[in-house]
């Protein structure tokens, strides 16, 4: 079982819609969770971090964490074509010295 699992997609949403990206993790000891965005040919960029159960909002982005279900999600409101990228979920599955990434979900926002 992979430590961090994501659906590889692609997830296609129309411009202006809400994109919902999901992630599950296997290590119940994980404390920190991250969402990174990676444009094609570029390196990952941190967009959200979340440490407590519940929601965390930052502009058009909302991260949700449910530790009981070992589930993390990212909502992108008012999706724009510029949001088209691969979104990587990550957690500190081996302690914060080791952050493990999922394989990423490719998001396509259709104009």
Partner 1 sequence: DAGVTQSPTHLIKTRGQQVTLRCSPKSGHDTVSWYQQALGQGPQFIFQYYEEEERQRGNFPDRFSGHQFPNYSSELNVNALLLGDSALYLCASSFEQGANGYTFGSGTRLTVV
Binding site for partner 1 (CB under 8 A): 4, 6, 32, 34, 36, 42-46, 49, 88, 92, 94-104
Nearer to partner 1, 8 or 16 (CB): 8
Q: Is the peptide bond before 73 cis (omega within 30 degrees of 0)?
A: no
97 or 111: CB nearest partner 1: 97
Q: What angle do CA 51, 54, 56 make, to 5 degrees?
A: 70
Q: Between 17 and 27, whose beta carbon lies closer to partner 1? A: 27
* DSSP-derived secondary structure for 47-105: EEEE-SSEEEEETTEEEEEETTTTEEEEEESS--GGG-EEEEEEE-BTBTT--EE---E
Considering the complex, state which of residue 6 and residue 84 has its C-beta at the smaller distance from partner 1.
Answer: 6
CB of 57 to partner 1, least distance (A): 17
- Kindly state the smallest distance separating residue 88's Cβ from partner 1, in Å: 6
CA nearest 8: which of 106, 75, 91? Answer: 106
The least distance separating partner 1 from the CB of residue 39, rounded to whole angstroms, comes to 12
């Amino acid at each position: 079982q992979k430590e961090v699992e994501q659906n590889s997609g692609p997830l296609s949403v129309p411009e202006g819609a809400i994109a919902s990206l999901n992630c599950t993790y296997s290590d119940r000891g994980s404390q920190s969770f991250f969402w990174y965005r990676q444009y094609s040919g570029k390196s990952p960029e941190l967009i959200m971090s979340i440490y407590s159960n519940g929601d965390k909002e930052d502009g058009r982005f909302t991260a949700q964490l449910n530790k009981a279900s070992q589930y993390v999600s990212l909502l992108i409101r008012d999706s724009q074509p510029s949001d088209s990228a691969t979104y990587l979920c990550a957690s500190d599955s081996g302690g914060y010295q080791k952050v493990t990434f999922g394989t990423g979900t490719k998001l396509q926002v259709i104009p």
